[in-house]
Amino acid sequence: MQAGTSSPPSDPVRADIGALAWIAGRWVGTHGEDEIEETWAPALGGGMVGMFRAVAAGHPRFYELITFDAEGAGLVCRFRHFNRDMTGWEEKDAPLELDLVAVRKGEALFLRRGTRRWMTYRLEAPDRLTVFFENEDRVHDAEDEYRFARA
């Protein structure tokens, strides 16, 4: 966020997995020179599972496995990164964890635990999804946005 503006929320909000049902489906796009894809299975058992992949020059660059799950009265996003040979980036018992801190129709804001770094999923139109990250001291750059079209 830019200096002088108010910070986004930082406390987890009450929500169930139905609040994120709009993310389900296959989303494709480009980010820089990478082809990108994020696919979300519909909610089942109170959670959702998704995968992300980036492909450069026709070869996988990396993958992510992502979940949205109930925790207490709210939702938590957990994910892990993997190299193309499936070796993980994060420690075995330490996925990245983000709490849902704001949700409204077509938008979800998560705060990474232990940081002041937010991740936003925003449905720009029924067939357009944008994902971006922001820190408290800086608004994201447009070129850092992950823009997807529903496939």
Residue 1, pLDDT > 90, answer no
Options 2.40.128, 1.20.58, 1.10.540, 1.10.10; CATH for 17-150 is 2.40.128
Instruction: Read off the tokens for 123.
Output: 């449905």
Q: Which amino acid is at 51?
A: M
pLDDT of residue 83: 97
pLDDT of residue 6: 60
Closest CA to 53 of 24, 84, 77, 74: 84
Taking the domains of the chain in order of start, what are their residue ranges? 17-150
- Mean pLDDT, residues 66-79: 97
Partner residues linked to 103 by β-bridges: 108
The overall average pLDDT reported for the chain is 93
pTM of structure: 0.91
How many whole angstroms separate alpha carbon 90 and alpha carbon 111? Answer: 18
pLDDT of residue 5: 46
Instruction: Read off the tokens for 2.
Output: 């830019």
Residue 64, pLDDT > 80, answer yes
Question: Helix or strand or coil: residue 148?
Answer: strand
For 25-45, the pLDDT digits (tens) are 999 999 999 999 999 999 999
- Mean pLDDT, residues 54-76: 97
Confidence category of residue 97, pLDDT binned at 50, 70, 90: very high
